[in-house]
Amino acid sequence: MHRRESNLKPGTSPAYVGFGMLTPVAILVVDELPAHNTGALISAISEFVFDDAAIVACLLRQWDVPTAIIGTAVGDDSRGRALARQLSEWEVQGEVRFSENITTPLEVDISDLTGARTYFWKRDPHVLATLDSADLSLLKGARILYVDWYDGDHILRAMDEAARLKIPVYLNLEHAHANADLVTRYAGRASLCQAVIDAAQKEEGDPLELANKLGKAGVETALITLAGEGSLVLQGGEILRVRAPQVNVVDGCGVGATYSAGFIYGWLQGWPLEQSVRFAAAAASLKITRPGLQMSTVEEIQTMAAGLKVESSSILSEGKAHSRRPRQSRSKHNV
């Protein structure tokens, strides 16, 4: 490493700390993907900082939550310097490490009106390995740590340090729940875990069965997102099934991270489980309706959240779900 830039606020401890890859991203919105060797008109272009740990940090900042990111090193080049400036402008705390031995990676995402995302990314092992030397001192005083499974075993050091400091860990496990070893090693270190079952990617499965599987691994709160079908959340013996509203799809890029940010926001506020789940689902649904990652206000999200259809049930002693009456819904667009 040759140079470092710090963006720290003395006396202000971040409530949220994300740990993971840092990469600039260009998000291109098109009506539909073109056929091979042809083109398409771009309706919107936005630039942001990825991966998900950084996305969540930037989203929470838009709701006035103090956040920080502990990330990979970047190149001492124009992309790396622009990334550092963007994090500073969002007032995301942390240290950006620059290296002349690294070229800052780039991700390009193409979102179409089906809600799908086609992405092109570069994840060099030697860049990911710089997580192993990242300073973890920002965790002191934090209330939650966020990590992603696709950063591999590099996340274990941060998860173990969080455990030592008694800081809950939010793990984004996505599709890796199919790997029993990863469930044991990663989910076994997490208090909260988000996974996905997506029919669009030809995945099938019972979300409650998956939530129970994560619970047996040690997870206290399992959040299973189901794309356009909504989500299911299991905490203790309480099950909440949230139905997704019908919305006008513009850009589905970052919707999973938005769900994470929404739930973490409610969790940090000390809200009841259902209120946090409603907020997460509404934030993700509203995100789809606009390009880029400029968030709706808390008030706008709460308005949609109040009208979502939520079904509540509980786990019986024999492991089956006992349904209760759906919560009152005022929305005309529930599915």
Domain range holding 113? 1-167
What per-residue confidence (pLDDT) applies to 294? 86
Q: Which of 278, 255, 257, 292 is nearest to 326 (CA)?
A: 278
| Same domain as 141, residue 26 | yes
| Same domain as 92, residue 41 | yes
Counting the structural domains of the chain, the total is: 2
What are the residues whose beta carbons fall under 8 Å from the beta carbon of 25, sequence distance 6 or more? 47, 48, 49, 50, 106, 107, 108, 109
Residue 153: count of CB within 10 angstroms of its CB: 12
| Same domain as 151, residue 36 | yes
| Same domain as 17, residue 83 | yes
Look up tokens 């942390």; give the residue: 94
Residue 89: count of CB within 10 angstroms of its CB: 11
Mean pLDDT by 10 residues, the chain (335 residues): 78 93 95 93 93 96 97 96 95 96 94 89 93 96 96 98 98 95 96 87 79 97 93 96 92 93 98 98 95 92 97 70 51 30
Three-state secondary structure call for residue 234? strand
| Same domain as 186, residue 229 | yes
Strand order through the sheet with 107-111:
44-50, 23-29, 107-111, 117-120
Here the tokens at position 242 are: 């949230």
Instruction: Please identify, among 133, 148, 167, the residue that sits at the C-terminal boundary of a domain.
Output: 167
| Same domain as 204, residue 71 | no
| Same domain as 309, residue 199 | yes
Cα dihedral sign, 71-74-80-81: positive
Q: Which of 136, 127, 121, 57 is nearest to 89 (CA)?
A: 57
What per-residue confidence (pLDDT) applies to 329? 42
DSSP string for residues in 50-99:
ESHHHHHHHHHHTTT--EEEEE--EESSHHHHHHHHHHHHTT-EEEEEEE
Q: What is the CATH number of the domain that holds 301?
A: 3.40.1190.20
Instruction: Please identify, among 167, 187, 214, the residue that sits at the C-terminal boundary of a domain.
Output: 167
Here the tokens at position 333 are: 């667009």
What's the start-to-end Cα distance of the chain, in Å?
A: 52
| Same domain as 270, residue 163 | no
| Same domain as 334, residue 290 | yes
What per-residue confidence (pLDDT) applies to 320? 57
Here the tokens at position 30 are: 């098109």
| Same domain as 190, residue 135 | no
* Residues facing residue 188 across a β-bridge: none
| Same domain as 198, residue 283 | yes
| Same domain as 103, residue 10 | yes
What per-residue confidence (pLDDT) applies to 323? 56
Burial (Cβ within 10 Å: 0-12, 13-18, ≥19) of residue 271:
middle
What are the residues whose beta carbons fall under 8 Å from the beta carbon of 165, sequence distance 6 or more? 139, 140, 142
What per-residue confidence (pLDDT) applies to 11? 74
Instruction: Please identify, among 149, 167, 185, the residue that sits at the C-terminal boundary of a domain.
Output: 167
Cα dihedral sign, 292-259-128-89: positive
